[in-house]
Amino acid sequence: MVSLTLLSTALMGLLVLATFVAAARIGGQRAPGTDESEDRYTAITRRLAEVVRTPAVWSIAFVVIALGVGALVVLSVGNFAFVEGFADSLLGVLYAVVGLLLTGFVFLGAYFGVRGRGLGNAHGVAAGSFAAGLVFLVLIAVQLLVGVIG
């Protein structure tokens, strides 16, 4: 139980640190007269947006994730000598990956649903965070009632 508490504390600390870094980066004042197109941040985000909008990237990512989850399942439940010692750890990693994928799906679904209705980024992030929080709340309730984790 202590290790879960420490892990939760470390993850929350990293989240707070990432939030402060992102806020400092976004809220930084730009010098007057500078060209936006020459900013490194703008160039990187533009290039990442082009890559993300490519259907081939989504297809490749889906295949890689599906194969990775399948490989983790086979390794964790199969009778392989080289993974016998940490098969339970692989199963835990598998649960974490699937949980993060589902939570990310819920977050992005709420985010793009709000953005598609004409609201801003902050509203989308708020709706996505609320939806992801509900997923975690349901997980905690199921854990307390049934005990699905550990």
pLDDT in tens, 70-101: 888 887 777 777 667 777 777 777 888 888 88
Task: Give the pLDDT of residue 72.
Answer: 81
Q: Per residue in 4-14, pLDDT tens?
A: 777 777 788 78
Q: What's the one-letter identity of residue 140?
A: I
- Rounded to two decimals, what is the model's pTM? 0.56
